[in-house]
Structure formats: C-alpha cells, structure tokens
Structure 1
Amino acid sequence: MTEKNDTSRLTEKYIFRNIRQEEITQTAEIEKICFPPNEACSYEHMEKRVEKAPELFLVAEDRSTGRIAGFLNGLATDREHLTDDFFTDAEMHDPKGKNIMLLGLDVLPEYQHQGLARELVRCYKEREKANGREKLILTCLPDKVEMYQKFGFKDHGIGGSVWGGEAWHEMSVELRG
C-alpha cells in the first residue's frame, strides 16, 4: 500500500488533533498500558505536560468510538540532547524552543501494527516543521531503533538518559530542508 493511500485510510479512521484538558486521565491510563511502571509517565507529570504544552500533544481519536487510540507528546527547548529531567519537569518547556524532545509515543495494543504510530510521527513532523522547529529528539530502547529509523530518525547510539533504570538510544530527525 502506498503512503498516500495509507495516510488517507488512517485519516478516515482517526481524527488527528491536539489534546483536550479533560483527556489527561485517559492519556495517563494509556501510558500505563503502553509502558512498564518504571518508564510510564505518572498522572501528575502527564497533567503538568498537558497544562504547559497542550499544543505539543498529537492525539489520534478513533472516529467510530471517540476513544483516544494513541498519542505523541513532547516539550520544546533549545537543548540538543534529551535528559531525564524532561520526563519529570514540564517547566523545561520553552514555547519558542527550536527543538522538540519527544517524551512518549503511545498506541493502544488493539490499534498497533496498523500504521498509526508512523502516521502520528509523520503528522507531528509535518506540524512542527510548519511551526519552525528544527529537530525532533527522542530516546528509545534498542528494540525500537529500527522502527524509528523507518520513520526517518537517525540513531546516535546510547545517550545520557537512564530513565527507568534503562540505557536508551538517542535518535533525532531534522525538520529543516
């Protein structure tokens, strides 16, 4: 299936939009499903992220159920490397920051393996490039490196994050050009 056809199929099934304040509980619950306890964002941290940077949450809402199927979120900064404090301190957000530290790509299990994660990343990249951002930066475990490379990210090897007691690959994608 071509990317264009895949994209139109996904936009028929999902509404891609910013998060709403009343969806904090739902996103925190999704985070608990998608990540192990040592890595998942707490309700309190999710609430602070939504309060500080709702425009940096991209939600995929299932048109048939009205339920959030997945989301991608981050914080803006001029920093070049993702450090653990971004996960716990929404005050790190600088609305004028040139880069986005991606803090979580969550897709509920029943929506996985259908291209939704790829489409969330594609839409996010497109939106943030239009907003003048320069780079998206994330960390992931080794088993996700290949997936993010398919989404256009470059692997920089093990980064400085030890979030959840893990060693994380730092990856980025340029939005300019």
Structure 2
Amino acid sequence: MEIENICFPSNEACTPESMAERASQAQETFLVAVDKKTDKIAGFLNGIATDEDVFRDEFFTNITLHNKNGKNIMLLGLDVLPEYRGQGLAREIMERYLAREKGQGRKRVVLTCLDEKVKMYERMGYKDLGISASVWGGEKWHDMEYVFGLQE
C-alpha cells in the first residue's frame, strides 16, 4: 500500500482493503520487481483475470469478479517507485508479465490510463481504444488493450 500511495494520488489509489483482497485472492495476477542490491520492492503490476471483455470500475473493488482461469487480464495498476523510473523498469515488468500471461493461455490484457500515459503503453505494444467508460477517481481514462497474436 505504501508503494500504491506513492505512485497514485489518493483519488486513484486502491484502498488497503481492496489491495489486501487482491493480494490474497488473485496473487497469480501480481508481478513484483525487487532491487537485487537492496531487496527493496521497486515496483509491481497487478490485475484480475476475467472472461469479461470490457473494463469496468468494479474490477478495482470487487474481488469476486476475479476468475483465476479467465481469458483476459484487467490490469489495475503498474506501480514503479520514483527512484526507479526512467530506467526501463516499467517496460521490463510489462514484458515479463505479458510473456507469463500468454503462457497461461490468456487472450488479452486490458488497462486504463490517463492521456499522458497513452504513448508509453503504445510503445509497449498496447492499442488505444479511446476514452473509457471508467470514471475511477473522477478522471477521464483511455482503454488500452494488448491482444496476444496481434501485437506480437
């Protein structure tokens, strides 16, 4: 939660309760990067698996929507601590995550991001689907998707 609160403003950050539920009931959708020199967590990525195709805000708060064998992953957060930014860590975490989820037989990975992050995710192979129905944190989001087999 400390990292989540550093990386996201309070209106966008996950609640401690939701993060705890996600970590205990959907741990297979997390990927954590650890600094080998300090053993400090440098960043992490997390989401939930589902057979649903459209991102919705309830994914952030309702862990019962997680289906371990779901065909899609809805990414809920990519957190990289400020001191590790600008070094390619976000890209590395994402590349490893996508490879792992492809190996699990997933079909798509979907995320939402603010305007200023669209280009970053496009460089990672995501396609901008336009403005999302998500209103999480009172913000205007873009839906982004990575379809295995198309973007590779």
| TM-score, scaled relative to structure 2 | 0.97
Q: What per-residue deviation string (whole Å, max 9, x for no partner) do you get for residues 6-64 of structure 1?
A: xxxxxxxxxxxxxxxxxxxxxx1100000000000111110000111111100001111
Whole-angstrom distance in 1 between the partners of 2:38 and 2:96:
21
Instruction: Give the letter for the 2:3 counterpart.
Output: I
Aligned length: 150
Asked if the contact 1:129/1:176 (under 8 Å) is kept, the reply is no
Whole-angstrom distance in 2 between the partners of 1:89 and 1:150:
30
Which blocks of at least 5 consecutive residues in structure 2 are unaligned? none
Moved over 4 A (4+): none
As a proportion of its length, which structure holds more helix? 1
Q: Is 1:89 aligned with 2:68? A: no
SS in structure 2 opposite 1:94? coil
Aligned-residue Cα RMSD (Å) equals 0.7
Q: Is 1:125 aligned with 2:98? A: yes
Whole-angstrom distance in 1 between the partners of 2:106 and 2:114:
25
Whole-angstrom distance in 2 between the partners of 1:62 and 1:132:
29
SS in structure 2 opposite 1:144? helix
Q: Percent identity?
A: 57
Map of 2:31 onto structure 1: 58
Residue among 111, 114, 122 paired with 1:141: 114
Instruction: Give the letter for the 2:99 counterpart.
Output: E
SS in structure 2 opposite 1:132? coil
| 1:176 Cα deviation from its structure 2 partner | 3.3
Structure number with larger C-alpha Rg = 1
Whole-angstrom distance in 2 between the partners of 1:55 and 1:86:
16
Whole-angstrom distance in 2 between the partners of 1:66 and 1:43:
23
| TM-score, scaled relative to structure 1 | 0.83
Whole-angstrom distance in 1 between the partners of 2:107 and 2:41:
28
SS in structure 2 opposite 1:161? coil
Q: Is 1:104 aligned with 2:77? A: yes
Which blocks of at least 5 consecutive residues in structure 1 are unaligned? 1-27
Whole-angstrom distance in 2 between the partners of 1:138 and 1:39:
14
